[in-house]
Amino acid sequence: MAFFLQLLMSGVMTGGIYALVALGFVLVWKSTGVFNFAQGTVLMMSAYILWAVLVQFGLPLWVSIIVTFAFAACLGLLVERFALRPLIGQPVLSAMMVTLALIAVLDGTVTVIWGSRQEVLPDFFPREPLHLGTVVISQQLLMGFGIALALFAAFVVFFQRSKLGLGMRATAEDHQVSMSLGIKVSSSFALAWVISCVVAAVGGILLGSVNGVNMNLGFLGLKAFPVVILGGLDSIPGCIVAGLIVGVLEKIATGYIDPFVGGGFAEIFPFIVLLIVLLVRPYGLYGMKKIERI
């Protein structure tokens, strides 16, 4: 029982970070109708930027984090302004192909500058685990989960209270009506991409501090794919719930299934569950069911 509780707690905390990364997908999709395949790669490159500024240049942690966030924000702004805005009015597939091309560009840039070696970030949080009775909890995951919860709370306030947040919500609902109300839709698009990339940077910092900085972080970012689709492409609450589900399933598969199949099954288990759920609910657990007259 203690082993199960430990897997459950670890899965919930990991799932919270996955849900945070998935939030970036949902924001861009709701605002622009584009699925950003490069979210995981932005996560990975942001982790390398933090490592370079913190370790190679020796700047303080808080300065390094600010530089990393600034890089992510500028990247999102540049991609939206120069790569995606010219494609407004073109088929959505064209914009999605741009995000796929962005993966190749960022992967190549990281490989040229840093290679593919594993790098280690200094400890942000204590590595000594917490002991709750017989349950052992990673302080790194616990702090990461706390940061993810705090950011989700901040986003709730932002989207419900701020003028910019309300404008983004209106843009996501109807572009034409938003324009008629005086909302600058292009600015909402740009802000969605900026927030998406900054959220990816947060995920890169949290996951990089736990797993190290390497090219595989891009694959960890892909774990947000089943989270987004399982929760519903247009549902922020859905990505939170689905993130927790995916995190728990992954850890349970690691503890109970991998020992019998030789390892690796935990990596694909969430995708298997995703396929099963989509057979029943193609629009996800919390996604909106759309019916079109043809």
Q: Could you tell me which residue, 234 or 15, shows the higher pLDDT?
A: 15
C-alpha 2/C-alpha 8 separation (Å) is 10
> So what's the pLDDT on residue 293?
46
Q: Pseudo-torsion of CA 228, 230, 232, 233, nearest 10°?
A: 30
Summarize the confidence of residues 177-201 as an average pLDDT.
87
Q: Could you tell me which residue, 257 or 132, shows the higher pLDDT?
A: 257
Summarize the confidence of residues 177-186 as an average pLDDT.
80
Partners of residue 137 on adjacent β-strands: 130
Summarize the confidence of residues 237-246 as an average pLDDT.
89
Strand pairing category for 130-132 and 135-137? antiparallel
Task: Spell out the SS3 assignment of 1-44.
Answer: CHHHHHHHHHHHHHHHHHHHHHHHHHHHHHHHCCCCCCHHHHHH
> So what's the pLDDT on residue 290?
57
Summarize the confidence of residues 34-59 as an average pLDDT.
93
Q: Is residue 15 scored above 70 in pLDDT?
A: yes
Summarize the confidence of residues 234-255 as an average pLDDT.
88
Q: Is residue 64 scored above 50 in pLDDT?
A: yes
Summarize the confidence of residues 198-203 as an average pLDDT.
94
Share of the chain above pLDDT 70, in %: 97
C-alpha 110/C-alpha 26 separation (Å) is 26
Task: Tell me the pTM.
Answer: 0.89
Which residues in 51-74 are b (16+ Cβ under 10 Å) and which e? bbbbeeeeeeeeebbebbbebbbe
CA angle 263, 12, 142 (to 5 degrees): 105
Summarize the confidence of residues 8-28 as an average pLDDT.
89
Structural contact between residues 283 and 271, judged by C-beta atoms closer than 8 angstroms: no
> So what's the pLDDT on residue 292?
47
Q: Is residue 202 scored above 60 in pLDDT?
A: yes
Least confident of 15-19, 168-172, 229-233: 168-172
Give the confidence band of 194 by pLDDT, cuts at 50, 70, 90: very high
Partners of residue 13 on adjacent β-strands: none
C-alpha 150/C-alpha 256 separation (Å) is 31
> What is the average pLDDT score of the chain?
86
Q: Is residue 34 scored above 60 in pLDDT?
A: yes
Q: Is residue 161 scored above 90 in pLDDT?
A: no
> So what's the pLDDT on residue 146?
92
Give the confidence band of 67 by pLDDT, cuts at 50, 70, 90: very high
Give the confidence band of 289 by pLDDT, cuts at 50, 70, 90: low
Domain boundaries, the chain: 26-219, 223-289
Both tokens of residue 189?
Answer: 């698009």
Q: Is residue 288 scored above 70 in pLDDT?
A: no
Summarize the confidence of residues 128-132 as an average pLDDT.
82
Which residues in 166-180 are b (16+ Cβ under 10 Å) and which e? ebbebbbeebeebee
The DSSP line for 210-261 is: HH-BSTTHHHHHHTHHHHHHHH-TT-HHHHHHHHHHHHHHHHHIIIIIHHHH
> So what's the pLDDT on residue 294?
43
Summarize the confidence of residues 159-188 as an average pLDDT.
80
